[in-house]
Structure 1
Amino acid sequence: MSNQDLELVSVTKRYGETVAVDAINYRFKSDSYTCLLGPSGCGKSSTLRMIAGHESVSDGSIVLDGRDISVLPPAQRGTAMMFQNYALFPHLSVLDNVAFSLKMKGVDTAKRHGEARDMLALVDLTDFADRLPDQLSGGQQQRVALARALITRPQVLLLDEPLSALDPFLRIRMRGELRKLQKELGISFIHVTHGQDEALALADDIIVMNNAVIEQAGPARDVFNAPQTKFVAQFMGGHNVIALPDGHFAIRADAVAVTAPTKGAVEGNVTAVEYQGTHVSVSARITGDQDVLALIPDTTFFANPHNPGDRIGLHWDASNQHKLIA
């Protein structure tokens, strides 16, 4: 492991009697894109803000490049944070917004503007240097905020729900730009989101948080394909959690087939059918008042359609049953 990795060592955050982050441990790889994922109030934003230095650490330490940065002010940590609302100065040009942190460090005008233009070229905004923020689209404002964070040459870029203010089409486009930028720069990006699709699209590694602790962490594909707990399986989506005699199992919805009731099938009644373009979502209630979701390719479904109230058979291969540990 590189000594440039960022490591959380028993990091805890308390607000009075409330424990927002409870003694979490994690090592972020120095050239990876990591998403902190979880519902509101799980501790992910508090974790990001502690790394940035915008929240104090109640217990534990944050180590970057072999030194404890948890006692340092934000500007001395080797991190930079891009805020959810971008926090651009409305009266400054794009160029001066990007160059602002260098101005605060006393860098002369020519040098800081030169570096700011390099950053604007990196985010493809060279032609917008003289505009004011309110003359830009949401996506362009986001790229200005990125350039402003990156001009400090951080070892770690922290992103607090950076796509939430964008419309769905632009959000998808910006995902690609963030991913491309991280690979070009070769630094660690740590991105807070509550969107499972966003995390899967962006992340090398996903940390799923719940109730102030890390519920599961690892490569994005592993977290999705092999959830360890009922919470992770349900929160990541795309899985059924079913109680069987020998425990709880996660079964991917796209691994469930639907037929007429047959011997060996799990029988259920259709409760909802929803067309989703490439797939049709079929929900059914089985014994024990358990709900099972099947995602059926649209051509397969419409060759033999089912409607709410129909009795159906549900099939899945035993190899697609993933046993949960909690």
Structure 2
Amino acid sequence: MVADSLWQLDAVSLGPARLRAVSATISPGATAVIGWSGAGKTSLLNLLVGFECPEGGAIEGTPRVAWVPQNGGLWPHCTALEHLAIARGSSEGNDALLAAFDLAEKRDARPPKLSQGEQSRLAVARALATKADVLVMDEPLAHVDPARVGKYWRVIREHLARTHTSLVFSTHTPETAVGEAQHAICLRAGRVMHAGPVAALYTEPPDEELMGYLGAGNWFTPPEARRWLRAQIPTNRCLRPEQLVIESVSTGALRVEASHFRGSCAEIELRHVPSNATRTFFHRPARDEFRAGKFVQLTALLCLTLLFFLTGCHRQAAATLTPRDWRVWQLPPEGPMLPTPRSLATGLGDDIASLDTAGRVLIYGADGRLKRQWHMLDVKVGKPEGIVVLRDGRVVVCDTHYHRVVWFDADGNWLKNIGQQGKGNSEFIYPVGICKDPEENLYVCEYGGNDRIQKFTREGQWVTSFGSFGTGPGQFQRPSGLTWLAGKIYITDAVNNRVLIYSDGGQYVGVLGAPGQPPLDFDLPYDIAAGGDGELYIIEYGGGRLTKVSPDGRLLGRYGHTGGGEGEFSTPWGLTIDSHMRLRIADTKNRRIVSLQL
């Protein structure tokens, strides 16, 4: 069985042709099983809870589960309150849980006297009342009024975070999968079409069919990108509605044939006048009404990999950076598992502090020798990202999935936490990056719909916050790394493929590679560090490379590409630079720390 997994499925089959050689790993957290009717979602969940047995293959994993079948599986002779008391084994907290699902007035009612929506809510409430390790739900809340379903999902989310419980649920609603799950398993006709992170499936689906599993999108081939976007892309690419901007122009090549407002997503049919081709696009509604006969232009709001516009914008030639020294540090194993590095920070005497996927803090000497290590307080929900070392030796860690920041002394003894889940001051959704300024004020970036930066003193007192979620000026989609340089904070805005600049007081300054400058063509910039030479160094998760940029946005050089050999990186995640200009890179998928000197 794979480490840190709930279930491991190996070539599992269930006849007649309901599941066909399904192999998948179901990890802790929230997993959405997605597919149209008849795809095999219910059959897969039935196997996980032991309701059915596989006719071929094997399933490993026996977590304690609470099962919510499609029909609710309620006990017709029990009242709503009795359902919760039986599940919990006590009466404590049951009235509050009923109230959270708006069932307080139905506490003495039995299932035959409840509506379908009330039965759905009671079935979910009963699962939350158990002490299960995993909640398994087959299209939960499917019969609940759409206007209220978000409220009940919020109750589920808060329960998962508070109890460190995992969730596996089936759905055919893309918005639910995107909003509630970290992992996705896509089924079609009993086969697994895709399994992986929801975020990756949303932003970079491998093909047009899989794009549709998470809702509306616009699939561009290179020829169509040239026609409709006036842009060059090397491979097929998805643009979600929020990534496509439609603007009115006085005249042009694209003319509106029809436009339909559909709430959060609008649909527009355009004609490419020179070729007479027509196509429908999905976009976020704008204030402007696009009437038939008007001319418009399309713009990709997010940078596409290796994209350049054909309207006179020229790429900046990148010099090749040449390292004088290349070394590799290996991480110590954790039992049978070989963890991967994530975040890095330079500490006292140029020691290097690292976080890894075993939930460990590792302290290396400048020569790469492991000096000491310790574990985080808890890692059942997820592993931490983001680390910094203070001048007095204290280590501060973003404990990402526990919505907090943790202080340790130099020997790994826990000192204190700040934060809890929330969107207020000193609260976090998913804190992932941290840096300090010369006064050792701390800057923490977070994502999860609350994408922003919070500033604290070195002791954790809140000072200010800045930024918000989005694609506009000063907004972020997964800020992942940040650094201080000359009174400014430079933040990698990963999904938007850019680096934003704020003053260290929280005023928005601009963006590297801003309009009027040659494009920097970032490919998921994930971390950034300021060197002693006054320049900025950025590692690109998608591009597998290191990029050197001046603070005013000039591209100074690049090094590396995706691979596993010398001079190559695979999903590099973290970066730090010591006082001798030695760059240390968390080469994550290659399971190593790379040390190089330019």
CA distance in 2, matches of 1:217, 1:288: 39
CA distance in 1, matches of 2:37, 2:97: 30
Give CA deviations for 1:29-61 in whole Å, capped at 9, x if unaligned. 2xx111111212222221111101122212222
Q: CA, structure 1 residues 235+271, in 2 after alignment: closer, same or farther (shift >3 Å)? A: farther
Within the candidate set 180, 184, 198, 2:176 is matched to 198
Q: CA deviation at 1:252?
A: 2.4
CA distance in 2, matches of 1:261, 1:24: 54
1:93 aligns with 2:90: no
- The equivalent of 2:94 in structure 1 is 120
- Report which stretch shifted further, 209-218 or 153-162: 209-218
- The equivalent of 1:73 in structure 2 is none
CA distance in 2, matches of 1:166, 1:254: 28
Give CA deviations for 1:126-165 in whole Å, capped at 9, x if unaligned. 7754332345565553343234335552221100001111
CA contact (8 A) 2:7 2:27 kept: yes
Where structure 1 has 5 or more consecutive residues not aligned to the other structure, the ranges are: 70-76, 102-113
Q: CA deviation at 1:195?
A: 0.2
Q: CA, structure 1 residues 115+44, in 2 after alignment: closer, same or farther (shift >3 Å)? A: same
CA distance in 2, matches of 1:205, 1:321: 24
- The equivalent of 1:72 in structure 2 is none
1:291 aligns with 2:279: yes
SS of equivalent to 1:5:
coil
Q: In the alignment, residue 313 of structure 1 is paired with which amino acid?
A: Q
CA contact (8 A) 2:251 2:295 kept: no
CA distance in 2, matches of 1:25, 1:288: 45
Instruction: Give the aligned CA root-mean-square deviation in angstroms.
Output: 3.3
Q: CA, structure 1 residues 145+315, in 2 after alignment: closer, same or farther (shift >3 Å)? A: closer
Within the candidate set 185, 189, 200, 2:167 is matched to 189
The alignment-based identity, stated in percent, is 23
- The equivalent of 2:451 in structure 1 is none
Within the candidate set 290, 305, 316, 1:306 is matched to 290
- The equivalent of 1:37 in structure 2 is 34
1:315 aligns with 2:299: yes
Q: CA, structure 1 residues 172+306, in 2 after alignment: closer, same or farther (shift >3 Å)? A: same
- The equivalent of 2:249 in structure 1 is 260
CA distance in 2, matches of 1:230, 1:240: 9
CA distance in 2, matches of 1:315, 1:253: 11
**Structure 1 stretches of 4+ moved >4 Å:** 1-4, 125-129, 134-140, 276-280, 285-290
SS of equivalent to 2:221:
strand
TM-score (norm 1): 0.75
CA contact (8 A) 1:43 1:210 kept: yes
Task: Summarize the alignment of residues 231-270 of structure 1 with structure 2, pairs less than 5 Å apart.
Answer: 231-245=209-223, 247-256=235-244, 257-260=246-249, 267-270=253-256
Q: CA, structure 1 residues 122+158, in 2 after alignment: closer, same or farther (shift >3 Å)? A: farther
Q: In the alignment, residue 8 of structure 2 is paired with which amino acid?
A: L
Greater relative CO, 1 or 2 (CA 8 Å, sep 6+): 1
Q: CA, structure 1 residues 50+288, in 2 after alignment: closer, same or farther (shift >3 Å)? A: farther
CA distance in 2, matches of 1:41, 1:317: 36
1:219 aligns with 2:197: yes
Q: CA deviation at 1:80?
A: 2.1
Q: CA deviation at 1:189?
A: 0.8
Q: In the alignment, residue 50 of structure 1 is paired with which amino acid?
A: L
CA contact (8 A) 1:8 1:27 kept: yes
SS of equivalent to 2:143:
coil
Within the candidate set 100, 108, 126, 1:130 is matched to 108
CA distance in 1, matches of 2:10, 2:155: 33
SS of equivalent to 1:123:
helix
**Larger fraction in helix:** 1
SS of equivalent to 2:210:
helix
**Larger fraction in strand:** 2
CA contact (8 A) 1:159 1:191 kept: yes
CA distance in 2, matches of 1:5, 1:252: 31
Where structure 2 has 5 or more consecutive residues not aligned to the other structure, the ranges are: 224-233, 308-598
CA distance in 1, matches of 2:216, 2:157: 23
CA distance in 2, matches of 1:318, 1:154: 41
CA contact (8 A) 1:33 1:205 kept: yes
- The equivalent of 2:144 in structure 1 is 166
SS of equivalent to 1:217:
strand
Give CA deviations for 1:273-302 in whole Å, capped at 9, x if unaligned. 123456654232445856241525432x2x
Q: CA deviation at 1:119?
A: 5.8
Q: In the alignment, residue 163 of structure 1 is paired with which amino acid?
A: L
Bigger Rg, which one: 2
- The equivalent of 2:414 in structure 1 is none
The number of residue pairs the alignment matches comes to: 290
CA contact (8 A) 1:242 1:290 kept: no
- The equivalent of 1:105 in structure 2 is none
Q: CA, structure 1 residues 146+318, in 2 after alignment: closer, same or farther (shift >3 Å)? A: closer
Q: CA deviation at 1:3?
A: 5.4
Q: In the alignment, residue 247 of structure 2 is paired with which amino acid?
A: V
CA distance in 1, matches of 2:254, 2:214: 24
SS of equivalent to 1:117:
coil
- The equivalent of 1:24 in structure 2 is 23
Q: In the alignment, residue 7 of structure 2 is paired with which amino acid?
A: E
Task: Summarize the alignment of residues 74-113 of structure 1 with structure 2, pairs less than 5 Å apart.
Answer: 78-99=64-85
Q: CA deviation at 1:194?
A: 0.3
SS of equivalent to 2:51:
coil
CA distance in 2, matches of 1:36, 1:288: 41
SS of equivalent to 1:298:
coil
Q: In the alignment, residue 94 of structure 1 is paired with which amino acid?
A: A
Q: CA, structure 1 residues 210+84, in 2 after alignment: closer, same or farther (shift >3 Å)? A: same
